[in-house]
Structure 1
Amino acid sequence: MEYDVAIIGAGVSGASTAWQLSRYNVKTALVERWADVGFGVSKANSGIIHGGFHHPVTSLKAKLEILGNLEFEKLQYELGFPFERNGIVVVAFSEEEMAVVRKLYAQGVANGVRNLEMCGRDRLLELEPKLNPEVVGGFFCPNGGTIEPYRYVFSLVEGARRNGVELYTGFEVSAAENDGDCWRITAADGRTIRARYAVNAAGLFADRVSALFGGETFTIHPRKGEEYLLDRNSPARPRRVIFPVPTAHSKGVLVIPTAEGTTMIGPTADPCENKLDTSTCADNMQRILSLVRHMVNGVSPRDLITSFAGLRPVLDSEDFYIARSEKAPRFIQVAGIQSPGLTASPAIGVYVKDLLKQAGLTLVEKEQIQYELAPRHEARHETPEALDRLHKTDPAWTHIVCRCEKVSEAEIVEAIRKGHTTLDGIKFYTRAGMGRCQGGFCSAKIMKILSRETGTPMEELTKKGGNSRLLGGRLGTLPVESQKEETL
């Protein structure tokens, strides 16, 4: 188990770094504390490709955001994940807000963002008819867009693994020892790997990992963002991503037409002490609904189908911290990757690769890289004729398990065979359970398929790994009396 590089954390930053390193003759390990990749900060991402106007270009996050933004068409072509460059509108509802909008526009121009357009009321309503007609003005950033964040991470990791990167899930780093020219990295369950170089992309736990390696001392401050999802039939779904005027610590509550057809509203931006607290509350839901109704028409609580929360890993500087450690040898820090970390992630991968080279890692490009150019088959996107052809190769293609999102048994089996063996992993890979009923009708069917394909007893299946078992007790242990009553 000896590697040239060990990347700790398989979110957008770690996965992007793994994809970059997979292009070289470098033996790389990607380790993740959770049961599947992207299960940390990245899974609750808003899925926005930001435009590069919110932060001054003097910050590292702005530089990498702008560079990363330019890479997504290429990455989508190489790896095949849902992505749409549908543009961003920033809207103001008063002359006071317009003053902030003008500053944002000027900052975007100074950052080199192309094709920004200042807009009056009529032009904004033309660009986005769902806007409240009381809008005063704003600007349009056509290079913004939306992406499905978990599919993006899965695609990066699949691409990296196809090109030689080895993945370890459930690997929570508990110790690190430098024995001269190599790091000995130990997981909480006792597994050990050795690597000459280590990359700390551990998200909310990057401060703890840095301490384990004897690196710099810093503190990650969790900042909770609650999001609410509207049914794909909601009349509030806009064409563009809609931004309000930002606050001191947040880009504000947004309206996001997700890359797969639903509408997301949020997030909040509240300090949080517990790095595992992903609870939501009714007060924040009402606050978000009120703010969103002020921006767009057609928002109804009847269309809410679920809520969730994510935690941003924030440093005191509010900027990214990506650098070679000055305390720990052959150790790269990738910390404080909050918004716009998803947008910046392709550039983060390149940046970290270059830092490793500066630290002494020899990088020789491979003669050939394996790409997956053909898009995945998905029942909801296939024509009846195409489904008929797929059915002839495998009847599971026309056995629809998730009716809300039209996900077939064949897609669920594909997800399992690619290593997604929790209910959440299958949901994020296929969208089964993401629709109106939120898995109310399909979860039991998915569990049966998962048990059949993996040989795992139903009572040992989990929602997201660890202790998140889906069933209590064991099946088949009902008292005899209860069995008789059930039969009658």
Structure 2
Amino acid sequence: MFDVTIIGTGVIGCAVARELSRYKLNTCVVEKNVDLANGTTKANSAIVHAGFDAKPETLKGKLNAKGNTMFDKLSEELDFPFKRNGSFVLCFDEKDMDGLRELKKKGEENGVPDLQILDGNEARKMEPNLSDEVVAALYAPTGGIVCPYEMTIALAENASTNGVEFRFETEVKGIEKSGEKYILKTNKGDIETKLVINAAGLFSDEINNMVSERKIHIAPRKGEYCLFDKVVGDMVSKTIFQLPTKLGKGVLVTPTVDGNLLVGPNAVDLEDKTDLTTTREGIDDIVSRAALSVKQIPMRQVITSFSGLRAHCTENDFIIGEPKDAKNFINATGIESPGLSSAPAVAEMIRDMVVAKLNPDKNADFNPIRKGIPKFREMNNEERKQLIAKDARYGKMVCRCETVTEGEIVNAIKRPLGATTLDGVKKRTRAGMGRCQSGFCSTKIVEILSRELGIARTDVTKFGGESNLLVGKDKESI
């Protein structure tokens, strides 16, 4: 029997797992997908919000600014990319200045440091490509950008090396209470546990509703994005938001931590929790609204569009803690924006709840350090030579757009909780994320996955399940 079982391997589930690995707890994480970070964590704005947007009395307001301050240490310990690039909230009409001042006031109440209101000319000195329509901007220097799936993978790998067990393709179908324990009914058998943490993202309402009469409803909210080539990645240096008005919340324009430019999202409420389609209308909408912020959107440099689903809770705040009628069942649900920014603080909050309940000893062997995959693209020539001398596979280029080598791909497969799919390799190495969108490298990656996993090429999938890339007979097995 496990002490703690966490449902879900998004950023919240993996951050909690890492925090619990600081203690002598028999902890398990279950995930219905084949890999980490396959839900909301995979496709979002990748913004570490400063913390000025949420109401101070809410969990969002209390946890965002605190979580923001934790990213520097986390990224150093776990070796994932993070940058404090700062953010602007743009105002386009003097009549809306009260809204900008209200945001600043909320941010100060939430503990956000160094907020400033700049006039349009001051803002354009810092960001020359801002629209001439900008009359003022709220500047938050502590805003940042991160790679959400690299961060989540880093958290999970560190939790795994510190003793947490991960079980993939394990879907919770039901939960029963038996005395002082819970029994999770899964497609791979029963799991007995003293305590459950519900971090199931879009499906966290369904998990909660299996055990509690206090029903929760999660409404999937789709956001569409355009991703631009790195040649225009420096069009802005900060994350550019728009001041919400009666006409809507606006969209953002931001550099990514990997050097691209990102525009979006819109917000479309859905019922289907699997709908990740993009639409011409949606893309046209975000591009036209982004044009309010910057002088020219370089549409010829779009390399892909995508959408993500936010776990919008009808209560409009995070729900963290026990339902009154479900002792030792801890919810982490409704974690939409600023959920990524708040994740480290959410994890500490839940860790403290678990420690208070189970009173475990500390794990004296806990190691907070995790080293990521060496990034060939970021090395100088001397460093590359040294790496190739140790492992010749780092001298074989696979993804030319992102400068990813065979050595990096093999590392991604062989490391803790390693990649087993094409998307798994992509999330860990960026192979296939460049301007050709895996047009050249996918066949080679399939070959490497087949070889390293000892499976036929026809059994290699894009993201698990029935997403096989090849059909028919593999001539090498005939």
Moved over 4 A (4+): 247-251
Deviation digits for residues 361-407 of structure 1, max 9, x if unmatched?
12321223213365541110011111111111111111110000000
The amino acid of 2:15's aligned partner reads: S
Whether the aligned pair in 1 keeps the contact of 2:233 and 2:256 (CA below 8 Å) is no
Note the alpha carbon deviations across 1:266-294, whole angstroms, 9 max, x for none: 01111011000000001111111111122
Q: Partner of 1:16 in structure 2?
A: 15
1:363 aligns with 2:360: yes
Q: Quick one: which amino acid aligns to residue 399 of structure 1?
A: K
8 Å Cα contact 2:51/2:64 also seen in 1: yes
Provide closer, same or farther for how the CA distance between residues 236 and 385 of structure 1 changes in structure 2, counting only shifts above 3 A: closer
Deviates more, 1:170-179 or 1:213-222: 213-222
- Shift in Å at residue 216 of structure 1? 2.9
Please give the secondary structure, in 1, of the residue aligned with 2:361: coil
Question: 2: distance between equivalents of 1:198 and 1:172?
Answer: 14
1:107-118 alignment to 2 at 5 Å? 107-118=106-117
> Please, which moves more after superposition, 375-384 or 144-153?
375-384
* Cross-structure match for 1:30: 29
* AA aligned opposite 2:220: P
The 5 Å alignment of 1:30-429 reads: 30-188=29-187, 190-214=188-212, 216-234=214-232, 237-246=235-244, 251-358=249-356, 360-372=357-369, 376-418=373-415, 419-429=418-428
CA contact (8 A) 2:373 2:411 kept: no
Distance 1:228 1:161 in 2: 34
User: Partner letter of residue 321 of structure 2?
Assistant: A
Distance in 2 (CA, whole Å) between partners of 1:432 and 1:406 is: 8
Residue deviations 1:172-224 (CA, integer Å, cap 9, x gap):
10122222122121222x33321100001101101111122345311111111
Specify the code of the residue in structure 1 equivalent to 2:157: E
Query: How many percent of aligned residue pairs carry the same amino acid?
Result: 40
Gaps of 5+ in 2: none
Correspondence for 1:483: none
Going from structure 1 to structure 2, the CA distance change for 1:420 and 1:328 (only over 3 Å counts) comes to: same
* 1:134 Cα deviation from its structure 2 partner: 2.8
Q: Does the CA-based 8 Å contact 1:17-1:352 persist in structure 2?
A: yes
| Preserved CA contact (<8 Å) 1:249 1:269 | no
Contact 1:234 1:303 in 2 (8 A): yes
RMSD across aligned C-alpha pairs, in angstroms? Answer: 1.7
Q: Distance in 1 between matches of 2:38 and 2:247?
A: 25
Mean CA deviation greater in 368-377 or 202-211: 368-377
Q: Tell whether the 8 Å contact from 1:235 to 1:298 is kept in structure 2 after alignment.
A: no
What SS does the aligned partner of 1:427 have? helix
Q: Which amino acid in the other structure matches residue 127 of structure 1?
A: M
Residue by residue over 1:296-333, the C-alpha shift from the partner in whole angstroms, topping out at 9 and shown as x without a partner, is: 13422211111111111111111000011212231001
What's the counterpart of residue 480 of structure 1?
A: none
SS at match of 2:398: strand
In the alignment, the residues of structure 1 paired with residue 404 and residue 4 of structure 2 have an alpha-carbon distance, to the nearest angstrom, of 37
- Alignment deviations for residues 20-65 of structure 1 (CA, whole Å, 9 cap, x no partner): 1000111100111111111011101211000111111101111111
CA drift at 1:334: 0.9
Mean Cα displacement is larger for which, 271-280 or 209-218? 209-218
**Following TM superposition, by how much is the alpha carbon of 1:247 offset from its aligned partner in structure 2, in angstroms?**
5.2
- In 2: Cα distance, 1:373 partner to 1:123 partner: 41
When residues 250 and 45 of structure 1 are mapped into structure 2, their CA distance, relative to the original with a 3 A threshold, is farther
8 Å contact from structure 2 (residues 12, 343) kept in 1: yes
Work out the CA distance in 1 between the residues paired with 2:144 and 2:318. Answer: 22
Q: 3-state DSSP class of the match of 2:174? A: strand
Cα distance change, pair 249–203 in 1 and its aligned pair in 2 (3 A): farther
Tell me which amino acid in the other structure corresponds to 2:271. E
Query: Match for residue 7 of structure 1?
Result: 6
Gaps of 5+ in 1: 478-488
Q: Secondary structure at the match of 2:25?
A: coil
Displacement of 1:252 after TM fit?
2.8
Aligned residues: 474
* Cα distance in structure 1, aligned partners of 2:78 and 2:282: 36
Secondary structure of the 2:232 match is coil
Q: Which amino acid aligns with 2:90?
A: V
Contact 1:101 1:138 (C-alpha < 8 Å) held by counterparts = yes
> How far apart are the structure 1 equivalents of 2:442 and 2:129?
34
